[in-house]
Structure 1
Amino acid sequence: MNKIASILFTVALFSTSISLNAQTGVGKAYSFDNLPKVAKTSFKADTLNIIKYGAVGDGLTLNTKSINDAVIACNKRGGGVVLIPQGLWLTGPIELKSNVNLHLQKNSILQFTKDFNQYPLVASNWEGLPQMRNQSPLWATNQQNIAITGHGIIDGAGEAWRMVKKEKLTANQWSKLLASGGVLSEDKKTWYPTEKFFNAAKMKNPGEITPDKTPEFYQSIKDFLRPNLLVFTSCKRILLEGVTFQNSAAWNIHPLMCEDLTVRNVYAKNPWYAQNGDGIDIESCKNVLIEGSTFDVGDDGICIKSGRDAAGRKRGMPTENVIIRNSTVYQAHGGFVIGSEMSGGAKNIFVYDCSFIGTDIGLRFKTTRGRGGVVEKIFVKNINMIGIIGEAILFDMYYAAVDPVPLKGEKREAPKVVILPVTEETPTFKDFYISNVTCDGAAKAVFMRGLPELSISNINLANLSIKAKEGIDIQEAKNITLHNVSLTVDEANPLINIQNGNQINFNNLKYNTAQLLFRISGDRNSAIRTSGLDATKANVKTEFLAGAEEKSLQINK
């Protein structure tokens, strides 16, 4: 099957269409007319006010029983609306039931308590692995037709749970934090809220559920087992609309193995220093729509996951049929992210008409050896970015579970290149179609780093206009096409770096300046070609290192 036929087959398979340039086979425009369908929720108009069940909105009374009683009563009546009126409602965990819409009026705050004793330990999941956790403030399991809607605020009291790194605070903030109590690490660079948390943090994966661990052990590390703010597990037909979800102890919104999820006009908010403070993590879900929403958080903004390593592969549930549109991400480690826990795979993802402002990385696709899983058929278009701290577009198969941008004074070394056998633990990235990306400010325009034993493949980038400090870096990749790319860079030595690249095509590449145009390294390069490239603007055209041969690169105007 030739390249054009392959692209047409891929796109037709997923009910979308693509117009092709006859010469290059590169998609110039995508039609997103026939997108995945997401089933909607529907609720009876009957409304139960939590006040009638004894709730008091004074910020002091613990309303856990009153709110849950209202939800249970609503469910038994066949469903309807449970109303959170204006006021400050202190509560412990709330369990949603089928056919119930938890609705927050304007000027209502659902404040989850800082009393850890109100959160029982439960068998749950963390970063794709079975883990003991504290009960999530908002949760549901095996429910159908559920919603959280309205105009109020849901606060997870995350400051009571989270560790904090000194480098992420101002001097005044750090002093105030120390004065509040807690425990410092030996190097005085990390603050922990309690002694239990501090002791557990020194253990390796203490929350993992294993036969040798007793209830008493889990209780001894309870403070470390931070809950995600919202966890819906194996639920169908879900609506989250209009509400602010903020200040989560760990991840903010976490649908797990759910179907038919709509997230509309929500605001997910966390302090930028919030450890693991993701906005939304869609894990092993099917049929998802996220639209009109805003994310300003302490870790990844909008993230696709599907389980981790052997546990994720055993589950075997990819995240698929996802639409993300008309949304904005401010502070976050990544604007739109896939991984790194993607062992069950991800496919048929459509992202368009989104803006990323001040994120560490714009489009971030990350994994590592051991994960396995296949990420494929990812369609992205019409993305605007401003002030990206790291890379505008990043593919990295050497994810090391660290912040994407090094902290001040932090030194990192590139991973050693070692070729390993391809097994079920080898992750795969392929068949990405990204077009119409504009970025004003990034450290690097494009970074791709595959594995030497299994390259990143079939990546198509079209119509990019990126202003960045550095240009394009491609390592261990094949069948890569960049079409209509405009680079405005501060440093271009080289403008384009390729290490062991095969069938890399640059069509109509424009740039402002280059000390060195191409640096080619490695002994496994072939078929690197350009067309529509003015090489005369570069001081030096090419440099070949570490076994690279001149014949691997063809520069054509």
Structure 2
Amino acid sequence: MKQISGRLCRIKLALTCIFLASAGSIMAQQKQTLPVIQQVKFKKDTTSIISFGAKGDGVTLNTQSINKVIAAVSQKGGGVVLIPSGLWLTGPIELKSNVNLHLKRDAILQFTDDFNQYKLVEGNWEGQPAWRNQSPISGLNLENIAITGTGIIDGNGGAWRMVKKDKLTETQWKKLTSFGGLVSEDGKMWYPSEKTVKGSKTKNAGVIVAGKTAADYEDIKDFLRPNLLVLTNCKKILLEGVTFQNSAAWNLHPLLCQDLTLRNLQVKNPWFAQNGDGVDVESCKNVLIEGSTFDVGDDGICIKSGRDEAGRKRGVPTENVIIRNNVVYHAHGGFVIGSEMSGGAKNIWVYDCSFIGTDIGLRFKTTRGRGGIVENIYINNINMIDIPGEAILFDMYYAAVDPVPLAGEKRDAINTITVPVTEATPQFKNFYIKNVVANGADKAIFFRGLPEMNIKDIYLENVTIQAKKGIEIIEASGIFLKNVNVITEDTSTIVNIQNSSNINISNLTYPNNSQVLFNISGEKTKALKVSGTDVSKAKKTSAFSEEVNKSVLEISK
């Protein structure tokens, strides 16, 4: 076991990021001092759960034994609670301060599929206060806590999840439905129980309403799936080495926490697991996520801060976050911010990460009603392969659907209207993205802001993306692209620009004999500057819609 006791360990590094700082090709060097994350320390005393009567036979329900030993160790000033070799079946576990829950390599901590073991509690779901089934592992108002080792924590999520038929093979679907449960009238969805069906049809299911108690939600209880681990308002946390897998909903959900370290974790869910996120860091401060691997059913590494009015009322951003040396396999997004970002997000560093087969690589999503400001995001050295959607995406029209449509799925086009700017208007600004390589994507780069609130001040430098389609910029201002190489299969149009301004493109590289280099539309489009780009490689440099004056495009050597 890695030694985590002793003196306070500080992580204090300096990362020098060189990014574009103004229009044109001017460069600026910004030295960003990374945040300091306070680390845990524990007494060396170790107590095995066996000493409190736990049995690793896969049959005995060890809930009371495990919780008793955690409480006892905490009351004595803390130490290590050991999960030794065995298959340990349990109900919900409640962590306590100054306790390190340590799993041996050949230990499996599996949570029961008996829903009666999980009481309804007041919690939080997708950024709003909500009734949920008690999480398999939880902690509230704690300090100096850890889960370490190299064992496995399994949430038994298959007992809880709805599953779409389109996400399974015919053989898998037949096997799933043979277990019982219910199939929807159109035959496209499997539900574990009638309560799950009813919950799926209930608007704002589980949202806390004044005057209602847990009993009022009993008829939809099975639908209110728990996140595997929820830590709320805790300080000094370490999750290290362990495998977290098979969650009913999100795997890891730190909420309103401070000084959080996630290191060398394996976080896994089936790819069809709805809401099966890897980690959702919500309204937390001073966070380090490093050396971990994610392979999940929804977003991989995600930053959140509350939803709509509830998030704005909380008013706590996620800030001072370091994300480095991680690998994300299947996920809806590799690194994600949103869509519940109503409290804001700022001062986040993401570097030296790889995304392999994620639906979208870098994914930044929000929608009207959220509010919140996302700013000062620094991203460097990202590698991607086999991205079914966009390699880099900014979208302010998030609609809570899978990022890549299923076969035969049809989606309505966006109805673009302008509405007044209010506190519910979200903002994305000041992103610095550098040194990105992607081999295989449907679209290289996509920006789509709101007409009343453009995506602003996004800097991309040294980016090479092989994709079917090129770059699309809609309702954006202050976009700076330098040394961007898009290698596209579809060469009909390389860059589409619509209702955008102050677009600066320097040293753009693209395939020879492309049909149109720049397709420009929208009456608000202006101040497009291109430099250092060989426009002669395209058969046609630019195409303009009727409402655009050709003078908006300025090309220089």
TM-score, length-scaled by structure 1 = 0.96
**Which residue is equivalent to 2:100?**
101
> Shift of the alpha carbon at 1:556?
2.3
Per-residue CA deviations over 1:380-439 (Å, capped at 9, x if unaligned) read 000000001100000000000000000000011221110000000000000000000000
Q: Which amino acid aligns with 1:382?
A: N
Residue 41 of structure 1 corresponds to 40
Equivalent residues in 2 for 1:447-526, closer than 5 Å? 447-513=446-512, 514-526=514-526
Q: Secondary structure at the match of 1:133?
A: strand
Q: Could you say which residue in structure 2 is the equivalent of 1:10?
A: none
* Structure 1 residues 214-253: Cα deviation after superposition (integer angstroms, max 9, x where no partner): 4332111110110000000000000000000000000000
- The residue that corresponds to 1:194 in the other structure is 193
Paired position in structure 1 for 2:204: 205
Distance 1:211 1:22 in 2: 49
Aligned residues of 2:20 and 2:459 also touching (Cα < 8 A):
no
Q: 1:546 to 1:258 in 2, by over 3 A?
A: farther
Counterpart contact for 2:19–2:29, Cα < 8 Å: no
String of CA shifts for 1:258-278, please: whole Å, max 9, x gaps: 000000000100000000000
> Secondary structure of the residue that 2:204 maps to in structure 1?
coil
Query: Which residue of structure 2 lines up, in the alignment, with residue 554 of structure 1?
Result: 554
How many Å separate the matches in 1 of 2:30 and 2:351?
11
Cα shift readout 1:85-111 (whole Å, capped 9, x = no counterpart):
010000000000000000000100000
C-alpha distance in 1, partners of 2:326/2:303? 15
> Which residue is 1:543 aligned to?
543
Residue type matched to 2:112 in 1? T
Q: SS in structure 2 opposite 1:443?
A: strand
Give the 5 Å matches for 1:55-94.
Answer: 55-94=54-93
Q: Determine helix, strand or coil for the equivalent of 2:487.
A: strand
Give the length in aligned residue pairs: 544
Letter in 2 for 1:525: T
Change (3 A) 1:25 1:44: farther
The answer as to whether partners of 2:17 and 2:32 remain within 8 angstroms in 1 is no
Alpha carbons 2:334, 2:355 under 8 Å: kept = yes
The correspondence of residues 149-548 of structure 1 with structure 2, limited to 5 A, is: 149-513=148-512, 514-545=514-545, 547-548=547-548
1:457/1:477 contact within 8 Å kept: yes
The 1:465/1:20 distance shift into structure 2, 3 A limit, reads: closer
SS in 1 for 2:161: coil
Residue aligned with 1:442, SS: strand
- In 1, Cα distance between equivalents of 2:28 and 2:226: 42
Report the counterpart of residue 6 of structure 1 in structure 2.
none
Q: Alpha carbons of 1:28 and 1:168: their partners in 2 closer, same or farther (altered >3 Å)?
A: farther
Q: Per the alignment, do residues 25 and 49 of structure 1 end up closer, same or farther by CA in structure 2, a change over 3 Å counting?
A: farther
**Superposition deviation, residue 200 in structure 1:** 1.5
Over residues 119-153 of structure 1, what are the superposed CA-to-partner deviations in whole Å (9 max), with x where a residue is unaligned? 01100000000100000000000000000000000
Contact 1:18/1:28, CA 8 A, preserved across alignment: no
Distance in 2 (CA, whole Å) between partners of 1:359 and 1:515 is: 30
Aligned to 2:509, what secondary structure does the other structure show? strand
- Quickly say closer, same or farther: Cα 1:36–1:48, change in 2 above 3 A: same
The answer (yes or no) to whether the contact 2:21–2:28 under 8 Å persists in 1 is: no
Say which SS state the counterpart of residue 180 (structure 1) adopts: coil
For 1:370 and 1:205, locate their aligned partners in 2 and report how far apart those are by CA, in whole Å. 16
Given that 1:386 and 1:440 are in contact with CA atoms closer than 8 Å, whether structure 2 keeps it comes out as yes
Whether contact under 8 Å (2:20, 2:26) holds in the other structure is yes
CA–CA distance in structure 2, aligned partners of residues 223 and 217 of structure 1: 13
Shift of 1:549: 1.7
In 2, Cα distance between the equivalents of 1:305 and 1:261?
Answer: 15
Q: Secondary structure at the match of 1:300?
A: coil
1:299 to 1:30, Cα distance in 2 relative to 1, 3 A: farther
Contact 1:27–1:462, Cα closer than 8 Å, also in 2: no
Q: How many percent of aligned residue pairs carry the same amino acid?
A: 64
Letter of the structure 2 residue corresponding to residue 464 of structure 1: V
- SS of aligned partner of 1:175: helix
Cα distance change on mapping 1:314 and 1:142 into 2, 3 Å? same
- Partner Cα distance (1:29, 1:439) in 2: 25
Indicate conservation of the 8 Å contact 1:28/1:435, yes or no. Answer: no
Please give the alpha-carbon distance, in whole angstroms, between the structure 1 residues aligned to 2:501 and 2:30.
Answer: 29
Q: CA deviation at 1:545?
A: 1.5
Letter in 2 for 1:198: V
Give the distance between the partners of 1:22 and 1:373, measured in 2 at CA: 24
TM-score normalized with structure 2 length: 0.96
Secondary structure, aligned partner of 1:217: helix
Shift of 1:25: 6.3
Alignment CA distance shift 1:142-1:23 (3 Å): closer
Q: Distance in 2 between matches of 1:20 and 1:47?
A: 49
Q: In 2, distance between residues paired with 1:44 and 1:27?
A: 54
Paired with 1:72 and 1:100, the residues of 2 have a C-alpha distance of 9
Note closer, same or farther for the CA distance 1:208–1:108 as it changes in structure 2 (3 Å cut): same
Distance 1:459-1:20 versus aligned 2 partners, 3 A rule: closer
Unmatched tracts of structure 2, length 5 or more: 1-12
Going from structure 1 to structure 2, the CA distance change for 1:550 and 1:266 (only over 3 Å counts) comes to: same
Q: What is the match of residue 3 of structure 1?
A: none
- Give the counterpart letter for 2:525 in structure 1: N
CA contact (8 A) 2:19 2:30 kept: no
> Contact 2:359/2:404 (CA < 8 Å) preserved in 1?
yes
Inter-partner Cα distance in structure 2 for 1:27 and 1:241: 42
Structure 1, unaligned runs of 5 or more: 1-13
* Cα distance between partner residues in 1 of 2:220 and 2:22: 61
Residue 11 (structure 1) aligns with: none
**Which piece of structure 1 moves more, 406-415 or 154-163?**
406-415
Quote the offset at 1:304 in angstroms: 0.1
- Inter-partner Cα distance in structure 2 for 1:256 and 1:116: 24
- Alpha-carbon RMSD: 1.5
Q: For residue 113 of structure 1, what is the amino acid of its counterpart? A: T
Structure 1 residues 546 and 104, CA gap change in structure 2 (3 angstroms): farther
